[in-house]
Structure 1
């Protein structure tokens, strides 16, 4: 007959109970011992070596005129007991949530906005960021409403003696120049975001100065720029951003300036203040923004072939689907698949120059051999077809059949301002340069 060993569980439980009791006593001891320390911290929070008992307390009463406070998004018509409220469409907005936020509660207005052919644009075209204004009374009755349906049209709804009426009219906007400056700390977009400059303006700056500055590799920390651009406002709110009118970019200590000019024939381009065209006949890069993953080299270890091989072009790393632009006016010489290039486009330009665009995911619609393309036209999209380890564009530049480094080859200038327009150009240019100089001077003054 086997004897069962006594269980050890009661002993373990009693040990745990005694251990918890010791921990509890230790915690209370620490708590009581810390009370004097709290008094020390409190005393230092007042001031060191200050006797609070000896402080004389005096009561001072003054009449202070309070500034008038105005809610920026709500205007009150005290005479008619109505309220104007301005807002913007949010991503998750529905017609019901929008009307609730605008304090529109009367059923006849809500029903009208749902069923009227013109007013229904409010329910069917809720676009995030669009502006809307509504006037309501204290009972939540809609009196007037204005909604920016698109950049050029505004929906107007108004309560009349015959009920609600709606019509769409051309948006009346105020357009004026905006002056901004920024400093490069990490990237162009980082600088424009910090300065409150729209992304559309950043992209324009990169295109304007692309023949002199490679925004993939030339930017330096501390580079600065000032820009004057058009902006259109509707009821005091930014509705859309226009074109860059003038800009100055200081890159690696060298200053570049640009002014926009529209000649009497309607042609628009950018020039130096003296009338020299800023656009070369070739773009330095066929992509707007990307990262150079492999440069031009006569001897490079090929990652797939595992041997030394000349790399007679430049690789731009970019996501699949990134747009590829024609670097200059040309005729399409080849569209299709070619060995290690995968999907490839070859363009034939003037003066014996040709460019190659490889590893593409797809081609622009309608592109074929013999097609004529202009500088900046979208010809294809980045991919990783052929011998490619990742998505990128392989770009080559050939002169009379000989490869040249696309990053360093000398690019010819475009045609300067026509002599017959020179006087008109200089008159416009001087005004824009004066605006640039005003912004530069104010920045220098703020630094001093």
Structure 2
């Protein structure tokens, strides 16, 4: 037992020099690591306190030689000092506040705008959102002013050698082609409204494809169309829309196309891209959209006369004031009041055809006997004059003096594209058809 304890003590004593050496190395390492810290402390310790009280303050004055200034430049071209400023009328604007915002400062111009008979239209027709622009010089003198009185009229005020002058004229409009597409979900008008297509364009499309598509009963959810139409702008603002240039309508899986062509004589018509005419020499209906309240029959109980009587026409229900169009080129045979028809118009057309329009509220201004009308011209407005129980148009179609059902009679075919225009048409059609195909393809891809 005693021998064992002695052996362990020897082992411990044998390890002590190693422990001592390790501890010594550790102490030196700590000492060396602390040297930078001691240096920092020493540096802070020996840095003297800085005092600003003993700094001397003095003022130094020196003569500085300035460069020579040449004679100031005076522009001889006053136009270079003129500038345009564009703005829009705000809701609370007055003439004074508007001119102040346009930097017009001369009283002569303000007096002219208030007193001149033509220029006074500016102050009396300040409509929020309308565009106005003014050209002034560096002194704030008005040189020229342009104001959009309405979509088709612009007021121009300009300073001349004899003073200010004002005139009103139609603005110079920029025409651009607009390409749009939409899908039918409920109705044609709902689809066009969803993509901001004006109603006038929707009506044109309905007329263009009316011989192939009945827009009252044939439309289905999922039908789609592509249309290219003209839009006219004034200073970037849309003024109105023009004609449909081309359109493609897919109805119940079948696609129809139309291209507008204006021949060198100025006549406008719509054709398929291959040149087949889409026009009928007669429109099926003289009203744009309507419903039939009473059809063509040889035996109908008359609601006013209270007896059976032939109804040799169709009654097209529509609100009072609805426009009535000439269904074909013709000559006014009669316009005036006649018995139960009330206000009535008779039109004589080629091929022995006569059409009759009864119960009108009023006639188109200037319409008179012997006057020529073209297809689509407005001839009158729906009413309920004569023997009528409600507002509607009574429409008759006579062929060589014999009444025919306007909704079933075979309409004469339209004149085909003249041979001398065919080459020009095909070149025109190819461009528009390519645009239709491009837009249609992108639409189908997005739907997929």
- Using structure 2 for the length normalisation, give the TM-score: 0.67
Q: Which residue of 1 aligns with 2:441?
A: 441
Contact 1:146 1:157 in 2 (8 A): yes
Cα shift at 1:267:
2.5
Cα shift at 1:266:
2.6
Cα shift readout 1:374-427 (whole Å, capped 9, x = no counterpart): 222232221112221111101122223333322232212211111111001000
Cα shift at 1:104:
6.3
Q: Which residue of 1 aligns with 2:431?
A: 431
Cα shift at 1:435:
0.9
Q: Which moved more, 1:176-185 or 1:128-137?
A: 128-137
1:399 equivalent to 2:393? Answer no
Q: 1:165 to 1:264 in 2, by over 3 A?
A: same
Contact 2:232 2:238 in 1 (8 A): yes
Contact 2:341 2:385 in 1 (8 A): yes
Q: Which residue of 2 aligns with 1:263?
A: 263
Q: Which moved more, 1:347-356 or 1:296-305?
A: 296-305
Q: Which residue of 2 aligns with 1:364?
A: 364
Q: 1:380 to 1:170 in 2, by over 3 A?
A: closer
User: Of the two, which has the highest radius of gyration?
Assistant: 2
Q: Which residue of 1 aligns with 2:341?
A: 341
Contact 1:347 1:355 in 2 (8 A): yes
Partners in 2 of 1:351 and 1:429 — Cα distance? 32
Cα shift at 1:141:
10
Q: 1:365 to 1:86 in 2, by over 3 A?
A: closer
Q: Which residue of 2 aligns with 1:315?
A: 315
Q: Which residue of 2 aligns with 1:330?
A: 330
Q: 1:382 to 1:174 in 2, by over 3 A?
A: closer
Cα shift at 1:301:
4.1
1:226 equivalent to 2:223? Answer no
Where does 1:227-306 land on structure 2 (aligned, <5 Å)? 227-306=227-306
Contact 2:277 2:417 in 1 (8 A): yes
SS at match of 2:429: helix
Cα shift readout 1:26-78 (whole Å, capped 9, x = no counterpart): xxxxxxxxxxxxxxxxxxxxxxxxxxxxxxxxxxxxxxxxxxxxxxxxxxxxx
Q: Which residue of 2 aligns with 1:415?
A: 415
Where does 1:170-209 land on structure 2 (aligned, <5 Å)? 171=171, 173-209=173-209
Where does 1:137-156 land on structure 2 (aligned, <5 Å)? 146-149=146-149
Contact 1:89 1:131 in 2 (8 A): no
Q: 1:386 to 1:235 in 2, by over 3 A?
A: closer
What is the aligned length? 364
Partners in 1 of 2:252 and 2:301 — Cα distance? 32
Q: Which residue of 2 aligns with 1:3?
A: none
Partners in 2 of 1:117 and 1:383 — Cα distance? 40
- Using structure 1 for the length normalisation, give the TM-score: 0.67
5+ residue gaps, structure 2, are 1-80
Q: Which residue of 1 aligns with 2:14?
A: none
Q: 1:335 to 1:388 in 2, by over 3 A?
A: same
SS at match of 2:415: coil
Cα shift at 1:315:
1.5
Cα shift at 1:351:
2.0
Query: Superposition RMSD on alpha carbons, in Å?
Result: 4.0
